[in-house]
């Protein structure tokens, strides 16, 4: 029987939605979410140990909710956390419900002003101008692959590091610090999981945030003393309503930029290569016409949809899809489910490097749509252009593995064997 058509009873669905392991297994995920899109696309979920929420699984409903940004707010609930974590955070976090102050948890004018600090830099034409600066970074990471031939763990050895180096290049951090920044950000964003001790896990996250802030403090001071034409200088010298951002806001901004785009882009590249290996016809198409890298990058992001959800909180009563959402209710937007929406995509379960149109929601939509989306797509294009130039045969030599998380999940281990073109 096709897993996607299996009927799943209520407690099973509720447990599975909050179980990080569900997100490691695309077939299990699709079995649940395909059923939800078909039978109950806006469903009230009351999982044990979590605050209840509406789960929204179809693309059109998510777009509708995201564009009503004065009704469906980004704050205070951002992502799924066990109730015990939420309660500790509410008690202890500097008056914030998240451990840093990030634009994805802001609304209205505060969000607009915060995003405006860098939004011009991230527009497509401005990002494309960075291609010359980023080209050598992509070439260098493909060279690492070449140096490791004939086998490597493509995710752990290459893709986990490449997008991090890209964003740290733009933030003015030298390569010798990459391992330290990666370790800190992994501690900050690691999914606490069911069995974790909330107090210990939270203390460790806070310590990692402080470590990150300590690292960026001198960079902020330097960019204030010697501003240059770069993103780090923009953030360090930003003024909101004529006032400089305070230290917590400034360092949180650095943390947001440094972390939002690396495991997501890494998962899209590793999962993109896996999709090409499993669909040799698509690999051949792309090799035959590198002009397809543009649509292929989008398809890799749709296919992997590493950001599984974000929440919104209703500011007022609102009816959608026949469901009465009450002021104060939270709503989980299942972006990864929308990326397989049968109403939107022809053959949603097929990976096609030339898919057009491709109005997927892996990068969200509306006023909070991914700020770094053009950077992510440029990174993917540059990387695969070099990879296809230098490597002419790639095969799997072990089981690919994804990380368990209901928030950001994707391929973290991809053992491959490959041949370097001579």
| Binding region for ligand HEM (CB under 6 A) | 66, 103-104, 115, 167, 256-257, 260-261, 264-265, 268, 301, 306-307, 310, 335, 362-366, 368-372, 375-376
Between 115 and 148, CB nearer to ligand HEM:
115
Contact partners, residue 53, CB within 8 Å, separation at least 6? 44, 45, 311, 329, 330, 331, 332
Give the span between the Cα atoms of 232 and 228, in whole angstroms: 8
Cβ count near 281 (within 10 Å): 11
Q: Cβ of residue 275: shortest distance to ligand HEM, in angstroms?
A: 14
Which residue, 100 or 370, has its beta carbon nearer to ligand HEM? 370
Give min distance, CB of 103 to ligand HEM, in A. Answer: 4
First to last CA, the chain: 46
Decide whether 264 or 330 has the Cβ nearer to ligand HEM: 264
Residues 6+ apart with CB under 8 A from 357: none
What minimum distance in Å lies between the beta carbon of 107 and ligand HEM?
Answer: 10
Smaller CB separation from ligand HEM, 81 or 368: 368
Question: Least distance from C-beta 263 to ligand HEM, angstroms?
Answer: 9
* Minimum distance of ligand HEM from residue 363's CB (angstroms): 5
Task: Tell me the C-alpha distance between 163 and 92, whole Å.
Answer: 32
Report in angstroms the alpha-carbon separations of 418 from 113, 150, 154, 379: 47, 5, 10, 22
Please state the three-class secondary structure of 328-367 as a single string: CCEEEECHHHHCCCCCCCCCCCCCCCCCCCCCCCCCCCHH
Which residue number, 364 or 415, has a Cβ lying nearer to ligand HEM?
Answer: 364
Placement of tokens 């763990």 in the chain: 153
Residue 202 or residue 373: which is nearer to ligand HEM going by CB? 373
* Nearer to ligand HEM among residue 201 and residue 408 (C-beta): 408
Minimum CB distance to ligand HEM, residue 73 (Å): 12
Q: Estimate the crossing angle of helix 131-148 against helix 162-170, to 10 degrees.
A: 150
CB of 150 to ligand HEM, least distance (A): 28
Residue with tokens 């069995």: 195
């Amino acid at each position: 029987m096709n897993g996607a058509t299996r009927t799943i009873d209520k407690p099973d669905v509720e447990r599975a939605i909050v179980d990080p392991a569900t997100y490691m297994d695309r077939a299990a995920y699709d079995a649940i979410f395909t059923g939800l899109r078909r039978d109950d696309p806006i469903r009230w979920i009351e999982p044990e140990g979590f605050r209840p929420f509406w789960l929204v699984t179809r693309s059109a409903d998510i777009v509708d909710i995201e564009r009503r940004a004065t009704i469906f707010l980004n704050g205070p609930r951002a992502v799924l956390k066990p109730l015990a974590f939420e309660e500790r955070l509410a008690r202890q976090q500097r008056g914030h419900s998240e451990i840093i102050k990030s634009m994805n948890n802001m609304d209205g004018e505060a969000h607009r002003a915060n995003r405006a600090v860098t939004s011009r830099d991230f527009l497509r034409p401005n990002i494309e101008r960075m291609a010359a600066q980023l080209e050598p970074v992509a070439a260098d990471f493909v060279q690492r692959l070449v140096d490791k031939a004939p086998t490597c763990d493509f995710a752990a050895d290459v893709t986990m590091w490449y997008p991090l180096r890209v964003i740290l290049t733009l933030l003015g951090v030298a390569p010798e610090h990459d391992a330290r920044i990666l370790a800190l950000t992994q501690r900050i964003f690691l999914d606490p999981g069911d069995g974790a001790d909330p107090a210990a896990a939270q203390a460790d996250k806070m310590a990692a945030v402080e470590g990150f802030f300590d690292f960026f403090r001198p960079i902020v001071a330097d960019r204030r003393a010697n501003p240059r034409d770069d993103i780090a200088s923009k953030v360090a010298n930003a003024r909101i309503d004529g006032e400089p951002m305070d230290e917590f806001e400034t360092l949180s901004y650095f943390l947001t930029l440094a972390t939002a785009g690396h495991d997501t882009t890494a998962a899209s590249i590793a999962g993109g290569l896996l999709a090409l290996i499993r669909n040799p016809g698509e690999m051949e198409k792309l090799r035959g016409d590198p002009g397809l890298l543009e649509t292929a990058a989008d398809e890799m992001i749709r296919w992997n949809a590493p950001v599984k959800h974000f929440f919104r909180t209703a500011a007022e009563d609102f009816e959608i899809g026949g469901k009465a959402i009450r002021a104060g209710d939270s709503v989980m937007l299942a972006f990864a489910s929308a990326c397989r929406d049968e109403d939107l995509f022809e053959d949603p379960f097929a990976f096609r490097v030339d898919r057009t149109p491709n109005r997927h929601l892996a990068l969200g939509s509306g006023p909070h749509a991914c700020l770094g989306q053009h950077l992510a797509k440029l990174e993917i294009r540059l990387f695969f252009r070099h990879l296809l130039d230098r490597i002419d045969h790639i095969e799997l030599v072990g089981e690919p593995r994804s990380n368990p998380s209901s928030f950001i999940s994707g391929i973290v281990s991809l053992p491959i064997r490959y041949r370097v073109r001579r």
